[in-house]
Structure 1
């Protein structure tokens, strides 16, 4: 294999994409005549066919270096495994589809700006797809057929779709990176992108932001928090004499009530102040419907309370779309808590959906509390440069929404 040409192409790729330098030099090239062109595995080995190196111009070879390392940085092998497990996808055909979808995700950023696209490179528009989406979004939009037959040769290795190849050395092979080393490489690349704003395309900028602050599955977290609060001791518990307690047998002549479990009552306080956008209010409506499902579908036990600086009305949940979210003034959710706790019967769980720009009650209410916090950048007050918004209280379970 012409190693000098291969390494020169990597150096060319580093000059064209300096923010990827740590990742490019972390790849260990291995000669293999089994791989059609170049391919990677999840352990950051790069398998290279010598005939492909000889036949490919230096600039295109540099572009392939960038393309292959992009698969690894974006964890396409791990994401492919998760999609396959969730959707029941199996076999080389489905993995080829994942490889094509992964290429659609990265090729707009991998090629161009000094790196020519190799012949036959996959682009979303060639499959009548919208650019700028992720692999998981592309997958449901196309199937293998006549329009993809030109890509049947495509094989970027197990690092692109998670399916092991005959040429893979596997976890016990030489020159592989440990999970900690792989994470360190990703972190260094993200640091390089964030340290030089504007040096990388928007897709890489978004990736770097998520590498530092990975998005939480907030819908599942919020639903789990509500279910946990509703199932906690004291939430939905009541005593009844309709079925005497078993302990009554030990006390002749005394009838003891038994503890009965009833569905919990939930009050959802929605921040409708002027600082909350229409999109966030729409998201709050969706969360109200999800909360109704989280407590077993008993909508009659879910109350919605719009609140800005006051909380005049409380609505029993019939249809989430029919809730009138009145407000638009200042914010003081203490009024919302006070109004929620005055309800009869008292709620077992209070869920607050807010942007957090509000004072909070000094003491914890006598019920479980979950706060869904709309994501916000750093906030300030134009009249007070030292202003810091009140943090959510420690006695509440806090989940960031969005």
Structure 2
């Protein structure tokens, strides 16, 4: 028969964790404790309730319990359950393996921070893996069958038998969790700027930067821009005599034009100047090709132009592998855009590092989307849709 939970010891460990790592204090004190004989050690659910084994608390000294507190709150702060929900079905079916990958993401920072984790802890070197990766990356490289501690649905996203929430109240809502994450990220930033004692592990610093300055998913942004341009082009109805109007039959000797809705034509201008790397260009072009296929544009409706300060290759392509890149001189994408207009595209995508002059004014019948490669790429004029592409 398991004895009662030693709450004094458990809460003393939480206090110590918050005192030693004050930037985590708000998150630590937002967790509700629920005693459970079913949980093996400690585990959290999606509502920031921590289920605790009385036997585990009795066996562990306070410093190790403090380290486990930080481990569990890290699952919640890093939104591991939300990220697990977004995994492909084939990767999330084994929640133990997901949990091990998540522990690798957390524990390399905790070990570097000299926290006294239990001796059976899991860290990247346990499997010969490098530090500093996200759990989604570790998940792809872990051995086929692994098993570690079960940190609950607040980690891997799968409800556990002990998560009854009896005595745990309503817990923390998603909105409240978002506010806790932002507050913690601000505390980490202030701490790293010299407003606190000690240093912050690199992983926490990267996490805080992502929360406070989230990176836009450029693939989603590019897809949205292409869809918008394609919808705009498809709505540009015009008259044609290729298919006479059915009303012509009522008017003998008169051929009336019919309305048509064009299928969007696309030109991709690729900056092949000396500042652009072939690998960057190939990767970006492959992504753009995938986006075009996703919105139903392909076949002979895509023209690719290789351009530095002059246009070297113009070709209609079906796949990115058919593209021939040539150049290596100066940079002037105006030349490429001007050449692209000769194929009468509905919109033009320019892949460049941004170090180029641009057309001086908007084009009447063609939209331009600039795919800017590299973190420091300068912005084009405001009338050009710009998407920053990770290099």
Report if TM-score (shorter chain) is over 0.5: yes
Distance 2:384 2:251 in 1: 41
Change (3 A) 1:201 1:2: same
Per the TM alignment, residue 181 of structure 1 is displaced from its structure 2 partner at its CA by 1.6
Partners of 1:237 and 1:260 within 8 A in 2: yes
- 2:34 matched to 1:34? no
Per the TM alignment, residue 27 of structure 1 is displaced from its structure 2 partner at its CA by 1.7
Partner of 1:385: none
2:14 match: secondary structure: helix
Partner of 2:370: 371
Larger deviation, residues 350-359 vs 177-186: 350-359
Partner of 1:125: 125
1:287 match: secondary structure: helix
1:192 match: secondary structure: helix
Per the TM alignment, residue 399 of structure 1 is displaced from its structure 2 partner at its CA by 2.1
- 2:355 matched to 1:357? yes
Larger deviation, residues 63-72 vs 19-28: 19-28
Distance 1:295 1:117 in 2: 49
Distance 1:88 1:75 in 2: 17
Partner of 1:164: 159
Change (3 A) 1:36 1:370: same
Change (3 A) 1:291 1:98: closer
Q: Which of residues 38, 51, 58 in structure 2 aligns to 1:54?
A: 58
Per the TM alignment, residue 235 of structure 1 is displaced from its structure 2 partner at its CA by 7.2
Partners of 2:233 and 2:263 within 8 A in 1: no
Distance 1:7 1:278 in 2: 57
Gap regions ≥5 residues in structure 1: 380-388
Distance 2:263 2:166 in 1: 50
Partner of 2:196: none
Partner of 1:82: 86
Per the TM alignment, residue 319 of structure 1 is displaced from its structure 2 partner at its CA by 5.8
Partner of 2:8: 4
Partners of 2:92 and 2:98 within 8 A in 1: no
List per-residue Cα deviations over 1:328-357 (Å, max 9, x = no partner): 42x43333322222x1x3112211122333
1:197 match: secondary structure: helix
- 2:14 matched to 1:23? no
2:33 match: secondary structure: strand
Change (3 A) 1:292 1:48: closer
Partner of 1:382: none
List per-residue Cα deviations over 1:80-108 (Å, max 9, x = no partner): 12226x43844xxx112211111111111
TM-score by length of 1: 0.82
1:47 match: secondary structure: strand
Distance 1:179 1:80 in 2: 15
Distance 1:352 1:107 in 2: 43
Change (3 A) 1:274 1:16: farther
Change (3 A) 1:88 1:62: closer
Distance 1:4 1:184 in 2: 28
